Amino acid sequence: MSDTTSDTTTRDLVQTGSIHRTSRSGGPTRASVAVYAADPVLRVGVVQQLRQRPEVELVDDADAERAQVSLVVVDGIDDDVAALLNRLRYNSATRTGLVIGTLGAGGLQRVIECGVPVVLRRAEADQDQLVRLVLAAANGEGVLPGDLLGELLSHVGNLRRSALDPGALSLSALTTREADMLRLVSEGLDTAEIARKTSYSERTVKNVLHEIITRLQLRNRAHAVGYALRNGLI
């Protein structure tokens, strides 16, 4: 995605807060945070929760790039949100925390690829949990819901096995994202349905499936599914 698209995405997401202060020793007196949300109702709810807590200091738009924590509040992961997360990833002054409504199949992998170490489901985002999320991000910690942590550990285990046995077909022929999409194809889902399930754009889904078919020299999606099933890839 181009820099122009990323800048547009950032402007579309709302930032809010007040100025951040430092202590005499030069360190922050509390965790400064900038809130990014596409939905103004979500923004207001999160800001109201955080504004009541002395451990958190909201920063205004002008200082958002210098906040210790950039808190992104969204319904799900799409290309626009990923563009914002990637832009924040390369800002050395801030760490990113994510409050999200739903994570579809492959959604966690995409979040990790965007460099987000701290994730909270919106349904669990009460005041205490939001503050914990912000402080964990400010301290450089990683926080994931238990079920997502298990999914991540499984993914890391697959990567380790792949490194130990790079010739293993089930690990080297398909990435996790590719396997997830082929599995959904095998269940009869079309491109639009796969995009909704995985939180990727339809264009990304088409590109991923085309890459599988081309790389493995297959004829079409049905052939790719048959190949994957025969070789235990899905």
Q: Specify whether domain 31-149 bears CATH 3.40.1410.10.
A: no
Mean pLDDT of 132-161: 71
Write the pLDDT tens digit of every residue in 211-230: 888 888 888 888 888 888 87
* pLDDT band per the 50, 70, 90 thresholds, residue 147: low
pLDDT at position 172 is 44
178, amino acid identity: E
Q: How many residues does the chain have?
A: 234
In 5-140, the DSSP E strands lie at: 31-37, 56-58, 69-74, 95-100, 118-121
Give the pLDDT score at 18: 31
- List of residues 6+ apart from 93 with CB closer than 8 A: 65, 66, 67, 68
* pLDDT confidence of residue 26: 42
Q: Which residues contact 24 (CB under 8 A, 6 or more apart)?
A: none
Q: How far apart are CA 136 and CA 150, in angstroms?
A: 19
Question: Is pLDDT above 80 for 117?
Answer: yes
Residue range 22-61, pLDDT digits in tens: 333 344 458 999 999 988 888 899 999 999 999 999 988 7
Across the beta sheet with 31-37, the strand order is 56-58, 31-37, 69-74, 95-100, 118-121
**What is the model's pLDDT at position 46?**
92
Q: Assess contact for 57 and 18: CB atoms under 8 A.
A: yes
* Mean of the per-residue pLDDT values of the chain: 78
The CATH class of 165-231 is mainly alpha
The whole-angstrom separation of Cα 75 and Cα 78 is 9
From 39, 33, 64, select the one nearest 51 (Cα to Cα).
33
Q: What's the pLDDT score for residue 55?
A: 93
Give residue 192's pLDDT. 92
Other beta carbons within 10 Å of 16: 21
**CA–CA gap between residue 58 and residue 68 (Å, rounded):** 10
How far is the CA of 127 from the CAs of 46, 77, 181, 223, in angstroms? 8, 23, 36, 50
What residues does each domain of the chain span? 31-149, 165-231
Mean pLDDT, residues 158-185 taken together: 64
- Residue-wise pLDDT for 54-95, tens only, equals 999 998 878 888 899 999 999 988 888 989 998 998 888 899
